[in-house]
Chains A and B, each alone.
Chain A
Amino acid sequence: MRRTARPLTGIALAVAATALAAAPAYGASAGGLEVSPASVVPGGQVTVRTAACGDGGSATGDASAVGAGSFSLAPDAHGQDATGRFRVPPSAQPGTYEITATCGGSGRRTTGDLVVTLTSMRGQVHPRGSVKTGVGGALGPDPVQTAAGVAALAVAAAGGTWLLHRRARGDRI
């Protein structure tokens, strides 16, 4: 039984690895090892989670590829997933590293990819497009307002002229 299970597990792992390679941005895959964040800077903390060990299952994690050694995965509050944490050494070099977890009971092994970058990527979504940072309030006056101002001044000029004329006539008398 064990003899047939091994190659099958190998095939499953190969399929999982292919799936991971196809989607490097995401550490998670069904039944695999979810690595969060999937991309981390040296010195950053990483949480891994897997449902592969069954209810209440624990596991031993291996992050020695990235220089973080082994760590343990304990059942979470719901008891369905095993989770564990480790810290990427500050000296870690950029690259993609395979993190593994081996279930305590079944010995089942799951893997996930961790990408170490020098640039912080913490799930970063970059903004897109231009930014709406102005309404034109600093620009010249409204043309309507300008027209109204000119009209008002024209009225004033006409009124002033009329007043001066009247005064001039009055003076003459």
Chain B
Amino acid sequence: MAAVTVFALCSGVWLLRDGSGAHAPPQPSAAQARAGLDGRAGERPAVPALPPAPPDRIRIPAIRVNAPLTGLGLTKTGSLDVPPAADENLAGWYEAGTTPGEPGTAIVAGHVDNADGPAVFYDLGALARGSTIEVDRRDGGVAVFTVDAVEVYAAKDFPDEKVYGAARRPELRVITCGGGYSRGTGYQGNVVVFAHLTGSR
């Protein structure tokens, strides 16, 4: 009986502890939403654009992100593909699109979590306006972006043009899952970070 009791105690603690440290990923507050009706219209480039060069790595110091980037394509339905989920510290960029730093909208996506727990962009929703995002480029340069807004959009009514549409100045989008979670259908949408090029080195 003592053995059964000890076993039940241990397994009970183990079952409850596994995941007790887990929480829903942070979601952006309304204060981080885009200011004005559409900030993009009429905005001038802050710094000269960079020539096209594929990116190698993304760093977001405010949320301790430092991850390599892999190339992403599109799925059969036309949505952006995602990096392999098994590697929790791997993000991807849309390689048929704009490279980060050249004029246009460059797109980076990564997982908020995988089956084992939090992944590369778990804290993306906690990012604040004005934060810095750095992208290492294969030409040896670093493109430095500043966050303009952090938004969350429902998958049902995703604003494609706003998120993926062309821009005149060099812009960056960083995307992960968010917007509530249901066991049946998974995450309800995406957290999208809007940033534009403000420096390079």
Interface residues of A (CB under 8 A from B): 41, 118-121, 123-142, 145-146, 148-156, 159-160, 162-163
CB distance from A168 to the nearest CB of B (A): 15
B 168-201 binary contact with A (CB < 8 Å = 1; else 0): 1000000111100101001101100000000000
* Contact A131–B80 (Cβ < 8 Å): yes
Distance in angstroms between the alpha carbons of A66 and B111 in the assembled complex:
44
Q: Is B35 an interface residue (CB 8 A)?
A: no
Chain B residues closer than 8 Å to A137, beta-carbon distance: 113-119
A36–B126 alpha-carbon span in the complex (Å): 43
Q: Which chain B residue has the least Cβ–Cβ distance from A117? A: B166
Q: Which residues of A contact B178 (CB under 8 A)?
A: 134
Given contacts A131-B79, A132-B177, contact A153 B22 (CB under 8 A): no
B175:A133 contact, CB within 8 angstroms: yes
6 A–B contacts from the bound complex (CB under 8 Å): A118-B103, A129-B77, A130-B158, A149-B13, A155-B5, A156-B5
Instruction: Report yes or no: B176 in contact with A140, Cβ–Cβ below 8 A.
Output: no
State the Cβ distance, A157 to closest chain B Cβ, in Å: 8
Residues of B within 8 A of A120 (CB): 52, 98, 102-104
Check B15 against A146 for contact (C-beta < 8 Å).
yes
Complex: A125 Cα to B110 Cα, angstroms: 20
A159 and B5 in contact, given A135-B115, A137-B116 (Cβ under 8 angstroms): yes
- CB contacts (< 8 Å) of B158 on chain A: these are 128-130
Judging by beta carbons under 8 Å apart, are B5 and A140 in contact? no
Of A131, A140, A151, A153, most buried by chain B (CB within 10 Å of CB) is A131
Determine whether the beta carbon of A134 is less than 8 Å from that of B112: yes
Shortest CB distance A147–B (Å): 9
Residue B31, interface by CB 8 Å: no
The CA-CA distance from A121 to B8 in the complex, in Å, is 62
* Residue contact A138 to B112, C-beta cutoff 8 Å: yes
Q: Is the CB of B19 within 8 A of A145?
A: yes
Cβ contact of B107, chosen from A41, A121, A127, A149, cutoff 8 A: A127
**Chain B: how many interface residues by the 8 Å CB criterion?**
69
Given that A120-B104, A153-B8, A155-B8 are contacting pairs, would A146 and B16 also be in contact in the complex, using a CB cutoff of 8 Å? yes
What 0/1 readout, one digit per residue, does chain B (1-33) give for beta carbons within 8 Å of chain A?
110111011011111101110111100000000
- Known interface pairs A120-B102, A156-B8; A133-B22 also in contact (CB < 8 Å): no
A136 to B119, CA, bound (A): 11
A133 x B177 contact (CB < 8 A): yes
Q: Which residues of A contact B190 (CB under 8 A)?
A: 130-131, 133
Taking the closest CB of chain B, its distance from the CB of A148, in whole angstroms, is 5
List A contacts of B16 (CB < 8 A): 141, 146, 149-150, 153
What is the CA–CA distance of A149 and B117 in the complex, to the nearest angstrom? 19
Tell whether B46 is near chain A: CB-to-CB under 8 Å.
no
Interchain CB contact under 8 A, B155 and A126: no
Q: A154 to chain B: which residues have CB within 8 Å? A: 12
Residues of A within 8 A of B153 (CB): 130
Q: How far is the CB of B167 from chain A (nearest CB, A)?
A: 7
Q: Given the known A-B contacts A124-B97, A156-B8, are A139 and B181 also in contact in the complex, defined by CB atoms under 8 Å?
A: yes
CB proximity to A under 8 Å, residues B90-138:
94, 96-98, 102-104, 107, 109-119, 121-122
